[in-house]
Amino acid sequence: MSESKIEVYKAPAGGWGALRSVAKQLLQHRIAAKGARTLLSANQPDGFDCPGCAWPDREHTSTFEFCENGVKAVAAEATAERATPERIGQRTVTEMLAWTDHALEDMGRLTEPLLYDASTDRYRATTWDEAFTLIAQHLQALPSPDQAIFYTSGRTSNEAAFLYQLFVREYGTNNFPDCSNMCHEPSGMGLKESVGVGKGTVTLEDFQLADAILIFGQNPGTNHPRMLGELHAAARRGARILSFNPLRERGLERFADPQNLLEMATLSGTPITSDYFQLRVGGDIAAIKGICKALFELDDAALAEGQPRVLDIDFIAAHTSGFDTFEADVRSEQWALLEAESGLSEAQLRAAATVMATSDKVIACWGMGITQHRHGVAAVQMISNLLLMRGHIGQPGAGLCPVRGHSNVQGDRTMGIYEKPSEAFLDRLGQVFAFEPPRHEGFDTIGAIEAMRDGRASVFFGMGGNFAAATPDTEATHAALRRCALTVHVATKFNRSHVVHGREALVLPCLGRTEIDVQAGGPQHVSVEDSMSKVHLSAGINAPASPHLLSEPMIVARLAELTLPHSRTPWRWLVQDYDRIRDRIADVFDEFKDFNERVHKPGGFRLRNTASERVWMTSTGKARFMPHAVPVDTALHKARAELGADVFTLTTIRAHDQYNTTVYGLDDRYRGVYGQRRVLFINPADRADRGWPAGAWVDIRSWAEDGQARQARQFKLVDHDIPRACVAAYYPETNALVPLESHAIGARTPTSKSIPVRLHPCDAPAEACAT
Ligand SMILES: Nc1nc2c(c(=O)[nH]1)N[C@H]1C(S)=C(S)[C@@H](COP(=O)(O)OP(=O)(O)OC[C@H]3O[C@@H](n4cnc5c(=O)[nH]c(N)nc54)[C@H](O)[C@@H]3O)O[C@H]1N2
Ligand SMILES: Nc1nc2c(c(=O)[nH]1)N[C@H]1C(S)=C(S)[C@@H](COP(=O)(O)OP(=O)(O)OC[C@H]3O[C@@H](n4cnc5c(=O)[nH]c(N)nc54)[C@H](O)[C@@H]3O)O[C@H]1N2
Ligand SMILES: [Mo]
Residue 276 pLDDT greater than 60, yes or no: yes
> How far is the centre of ligand 3, averaged over its atoms, from the C-alpha of 89 (Å)?
32
Number of H helices, E strands in the chain: 33, 33
Residue 239 pLDDT greater than 50, yes or no: yes
Residue 759 bridge partners (DSSP): 700
Nearest-atom number in ligand 1 for the CA of 179 is 12
> How far is the centre of ligand 3, averaged over its atoms, from the C-alpha of 54 (Å)?
10
pLDDT in tens, 694-717: 999 999 999 999 999 999 999 999
pLDDT of 45 reads: 61
- For residue 609, tell me if it sits in a domain: no
Give me the CATH number covering residue 161.
3.40.50.740
545/515 Cα distance (integer angstroms) = 8
Model confidence at 65, pLDDT cuts 50, 70, 90, reads low
> How far is the centre of ligand 1, averaged over its atoms, from the C-alpha of 619 (Å)?
32
Task: Name the domain boundary from 77, 111, 133.
Answer: 77
> How far is the centre of ligand 1, averaged over its atoms, from the C-alpha of 220 (Å)?
8
Tell me what the mean pLDDT of segment 241-261 comes to: 87
Residue 352 pLDDT greater than 50, yes or no: yes
pLDDT of 544 reads: 96
Give the list of residues 6+ apart from residue 455 with CB closer than 8 angstroms, or none: 483
Same domain, 371 and 288: yes
Tell me what the mean pLDDT of segment 247-265 comes to: 80
> How far is the centre of ligand 3, averaged over its atoms, from the C-alpha of 695 (Å)?
31
Neighbours of 606 (CB within 10 A): 17
- For residue 544, tell me if it sits in a domain: no
Same domain, 94 and 50: no
Nearest-atom number in ligand 2 for the CA of 495 is 44
600/757 Cα distance (integer angstroms) = 52
Residue nearest ligand 1's atom 14 by CA? 405
Tell me what the mean pLDDT of segment 638-656 comes to: 96
pLDDT of 64 reads: 43
> How far is the centre of ligand 1, averaged over its atoms, from the C-alpha of 116 (Å)?
35
Give the list of residues 6+ apart from residue 450 with CB closer than 8 angstroms, or none: 443, 456, 480, 740
575/570 Cα distance (integer angstroms) = 9
- For residue 545, tell me if it sits in a domain: no
405/154 Cα distance (integer angstroms) = 8
Tell me what the mean pLDDT of segment 595-620 comes to: 95
Same domain, 22 and 51: yes
Same domain, 261 and 355: yes
Ligand nearest to the CA of 223: 1
655/362 Cα distance (integer angstroms) = 29
pLDDT of 254 reads: 84
> How far is the centre of ligand 1, averaged over its atoms, from the C-alpha of 728 (Å)?
12
Residue 534 bridge partners (DSSP): 606
Tell me what the mean pLDDT of segment 328-354 comes to: 98
List strand residue ranges (DSSP E) for 233-280, in order: 240-244, 254-256, 270-271, 275-277
Give the list of residues 6+ apart from residue 324 with CB closer than 8 angstroms, or none: none
Same domain, 220 and 361: yes
Give the list of residues 6+ apart from residue 23 with CB closer than 8 angstroms, or none: none
pLDDT in tens, 85-111: 999 999 999 999 999 999 999 999 999
pLDDT of 9 reads: 82
pLDDT of 15 reads: 74
Neighbours of 432 (CB within 10 A): 15
- Give me the chain's average pLDDT, please: 93
Same domain, 281 and 332: yes
Q: For the chain, how many residues are written? A: 771
Backbone angles phi, psi at 537, to 5 degrees: -85, 160
Give me the CATH number covering residue 717.
2.40.40.20
pLDDT in tens, 385-432: 999 999 999 999 999 999 999 989 999 999 999 999 999 999 999 999
Q: Answer whether 0.85 is exceeded by the pTM.
A: yes
Tell me what the mean pLDDT of segment 504-522 comes to: 96
> How far is the centre of ligand 1, averaged over its atoms, from the C-alpha of 219 (Å)?
5
Model confidence at 62, pLDDT cuts 50, 70, 90, reads very low
pLDDT of 27 reads: 67
Nearest-atom number in ligand 1 for the CA of 409 is 12
Which of the listed residues 25, 53, 285 should we mutate to test ligand 1's pocket, taking the one with most ligand atoms within 8 A of CB? 53
Residue 538 bridge partners (DSSP): 526
60/602 Cα distance (integer angstroms) = 8
pLDDT in tens, 172-191: 999 999 999 999 999 999 99
- For residue 520, tell me if it sits in a domain: no
- For residue 155, tell me if it sits in a domain: yes
pLDDT in tens, 355-397: 999 999 999 999 999 999 999 999 999 999 999 999 999 999 9
Going by their DSSP bridges, the two strands 648-653 and 726-730 should be labelled as parallel
- For residue 696, tell me if it sits in a domain: yes
Q: Provide residues with CB under 6 Å of ligand 2.
A: 105, 153, 155, 179, 182-183, 368, 372, 405-406, 463-467, 470, 490-493, 495, 510, 512-513, 552, 652, 660-662, 731, 734-735, 738, 752
640/758 Cα distance (integer angstroms) = 10
Residue nearest ligand 2's atom 4 by CA? 470
Residue nearest ligand 1's atom 24 by CA? 653
Tell me what the mean pLDDT of segment 626-639 comes to: 96
Residue 34 pLDDT greater than 70, yes or no: no
Query: Between helices 284-304 and 323-331, what is the axis angle to 10°?
Result: 100
Which of the listed residues 102, 178, 222, 280 should we mutate to test ligand 1's pocket, taking the one with most ligand atoms within 8 A of CB? 222
Alpha-carbon distance values, 206 to 149, 233, 295, 553, 726 (Å)? 40, 12, 23, 35, 35
Nearest-atom number in ligand 2 for the CA of 151 is 20
Number of domains in the chain: 4
pLDDT of 75 reads: 85
Task: Name the domain boundary from 77, 94, 117.
Answer: 77
- For residue 521, tell me if it sits in a domain: no
375/602 Cα distance (integer angstroms) = 41
488/48 Cα distance (integer angstroms) = 27
- Show the domain range for 753: 635-770
pLDDT of 257 reads: 76
Residue nearest ligand 2's atom 12 by CA? 183
Residue nearest ligand 2's atom 14 by CA? 179
Give the list of residues 6+ apart from residue 543 with CB closer than 8 angstroms, or none: 515, 516
Which has the higher per-residue pLDDT, 19 or 476? 476
pLDDT of 332 reads: 98
pLDDT of 770 reads: 41
320/627 Cα distance (integer angstroms) = 13
Model confidence at 730, pLDDT cuts 50, 70, 90, reads very high
Same domain, 63 and 87: no
